[in-house]
A and B are shown apart, each in its own frame.
Chain A
Amino acid sequence: MEEKPSNASRRSLVHHDSNKSLLQGDIRNLWTTATLSELNVNLPLSHVSECSDLEGRRSSYLKGSVDTDNVDWEWDGGLRESLPGDDSSQQELDERTLMELELHRSHSLGSVPEGGDDDDSRIKAERSSSSLNVFKQTPHRAYWAEQQNRLPLPLVGLMENEVLEILTKTLESYRSGIGRNHFLTKQLRRSIEGLKKRRNKMLQVSVN
């Protein structure tokens, strides 16, 4: 038989965890995490539970969760507390923060069965697996592209538009100078088409 932790101790655990995570991490990380996790909001509920529970462990984790209103209150309180003394030294995404947000999101989805019992270690394991799933399941394409290129997306957009204009004028010069069928003209045309496709893809991603 597993021992049921009292509601108060659970609350204090959540409070402690959220405070710790919020104090450790930069507030901007929270924003980023929230954006990442919010992508799943529109997914059907069945899919979400599939995503977050590959081994059928999600329900047990949720069973062990505490009263939703309390958690929300605790989380918001922690956030408010962290704002003035924001420690921006930690740049990495805080996994614990992610867990809290994931928990918060799952509550807001309304997929929380009440009651049940679980020990703390199991809760932690489930939370970490669910946070990893956030990374796996919700790749925000524009966000990751920006991270990989290390150039701000508006700047890339500006650059590509400008280059496209320049290359279009160049293509006209090529056509009048060396002819339509010259391999340089063809190569330039292909480059312009590639650039246009890339730009359209970027636009689609930003719209979605």
Chain B
Amino acid sequence: MKLKQGSFLWYLYLDKIYCLLSVRNVRALMEYFHLLDVHHKNTLNDVVFFHFLNHVTNLTRPQIMMIFDMLDWNAMGEIGFDQFYMLVCILLSHQNHLEQQFIYRHSRPVFELLDLDGDLRIDLENFQLYSFLFNIKKQELNEIYQNFDFTGDHRLNYKEFKLFTIFNVDKYQKRQKAEKEKEEKFLLKSKVSQQSDVFTKKEHCLEKKI
């Protein structure tokens, strides 16, 4: 999933730590929402919602309608600004590769979104349906259920889900740290090689002179 470059959402900045928009950004988003709200009900219906997501992302029609169903949890056929804001934050976290951080920071709302049946548990199937939103692969998902389904009912309750988010964010931070170290090592190596090049060139020049 990718955001269309140059679209309005593309210019919004998601805080990397809290995974939230600034007040100024939320105000701009609200203005945008009100422009889309053509029927003046403070909501967006499925048609407007589809065209909106179709315009700003590369999501397919079934994916968009699945997201709409997820956000419209009370089956009103419309979504309000709260849901819209949540969706925009998810899109931006995906765009900025902050999915793990986002799930960790907003574990409760994400859990409630993924709990489609409302029985305070997340099925493997439901999680798999929306895994594209959080960039979780099928293999990873199976591992999550193997490692964190302590009750053994093939579903995650909130505590299990929370543990998964903590483990996930820890893994993410370690990965980031490792990448940083790798970059630093690479920079150091390139510097050393540059210096050695200069040294050999100088030696070569000296030899020539002699």
Interface residues of A (CB under 8 A from B): 149-151, 155-156, 158-160, 162-163, 165-167, 169-170, 173-174, 177, 184, 187-188, 191-192, 195
Contact = CB atoms under 8 A, between A and B. Distances in A.
Given A151-B27, A159-B28, A162-B7, A169 B35 contact: no
A170 B39 CA distance: 12
14 contacts: A151-B31, A155-B11, A159-B32, A163-B32, A165-B55, A167-B38, A170-B38, A173-B47, A173-B51, A174-B47, A177-B47, A187-B39, A188-B38, A192-B38
A187 B38 contact: yes
B47 A166 contact: no
Interface in B37-57: 38-39, 47-48, 50-52, 54-56
A174 B36 CA distance: 15
B54 to A, nearest CB: 8
Given A155-B11, A169-B55, A173-B51, A160 B39 contact: no
Which of A166, A187, A191 has the most CB atoms of chain B within a 10 A radius of its CB? A166
B8 interface: yes
Contact of B35 (A149, A188, A195): A195
Contacts, number: 54
A200 B8 CA distance: 20
Interface residues of B, number: 19
A163 B47 contact: no
B35 A160 contact: yes
Nearest to B28: A151
The 3 nearest A-B residue pairs measured at CB? A191-B38, A163-B35, A169-B51
A176 to B, nearest CB: 11
Interface string B38-81: 11000000011011101110000000000000000000000000
A170 B28 contact: no
Contacts of B11: 155, 158
Contact of B48 (A151, A159, A166): A166
Contact of A166 (B28, B31, B39, B55): B55
Contacts of A165: 55
A33 B39 CA distance: 41
